Chain A
Amino acid sequence: DQQVKQNSPSLSVQEGRISILNCDYTNSMFDYFLWYKKYPAEGPTFLISISSIKDKNEDGRFTVFLNKSAKHLSLHIVPSQPGDSAVYFCAASARGQGFSFIFGKGTRLLVKP
């Protein structure tokens, strides 16, 4: 049973517009969430994280929102750039239950010029 779900396998956005990537989770013990970006033939790179004590975290063009009651988080990229085209993974961790992450299957974002 998938504990972290990214239900949209792909997303296409025009350059300059907002990209919104979604992630749902089922385990209420998850208290730390991260987003990673992955280019082909490279390892994932960390983008942004959020702890369950917050509902929003911003870093430049990237903002992550957490809705604990809905068990939902989203990554907003504003404005989107062609270099943002990559696969984005959502990951969740229950820090009190050991130190490991559960990853979603990823969403492929294409930003069109």
Chain B
Amino acid sequence: DAGITQSPRYKITETGRQVTLMCHQTWSHSYMFWYRQDLGHGLRLIYYSAAADITDKGEVPDGYVVSRSKTENFPLTLESATRSQTSVYFCASSVYWGQSSYEQYFGPGTRLTVT
């Protein structure tokens, strides 16, 4: 199906484990993003990518690693999960038209619980 998908939708893991959240988009959008949503914080940017092999830190990057070997995929890895990383994670993609308008399309989210 066309669009942006995330997997898994729900994940429970233990402290110290490595976890990878997957994000896939079918539009060939150049920009992709990872956000986390927590009560009292809204959406906070973790990492973003302007194109394959180009990534940059957002507001809250500590404890996360990203890669982008292909335009359509943007996995997010928690190398050693901590309880503070319990959150809902959203992936998004966007086309950037320079000075014209642009918008982000969000995936359905992954609810991660670290015990």
Q: Which residues of A are interface residues toward B (Cβ below 8 A)?
A: 6, 32, 34, 36, 41-46, 49, 51, 89, 91, 95, 98-106
Contacts and interface: CB of A to CB of B under 8 A. Distances in A.
Given A43-B90, A99-B96, A89 B45 contact: no
Contact of A98 (B4, B56, B92): B56
A105 B42 contact: yes
A98 B105 CA distance: 18
Interface of B: 4, 31, 33, 35, 40-45, 48, 50, 56, 58-59, 90, 92, 94, 96, 99, 101-109
Contacts of B35: 103
A45 B106 contact: yes
| Among all A-B residue pairs, the 10 with the closest Cβ atoms | A43-B106, A105-B42, A103-B43, A46-B103, A103-B42, A44-B106, A43-B108, A100-B45, A43-B107, A49-B101
Contacts of A99: 31, 48, 50, 94, 96
Given A6-B42, A34-B103, A104-B42, 13 more contacts: A36-B106, A42-B108, A43-B4, A43-B107, A44-B106, A99-B31, A99-B48, A100-B59, A102-B59, A103-B43, A103-B44, A105-B41, A106-B42
A69 B33 CA distance: 30
* Majority-rule SS of B interface residues: strand
Given A43-B90, A46-B103, A46-B104, A89 B43 contact: yes
B42 A41 contact: no
Contacts of A44: 43, 90, 106
A42 B109 contact: yes
10 contacts: A41-B108, A43-B109, A89-B42, A95-B99, A99-B96, A100-B33, A101-B104, A102-B59, A103-B35, A103-B44
B95 to A, nearest CB: 11
Nearest to A57: B101
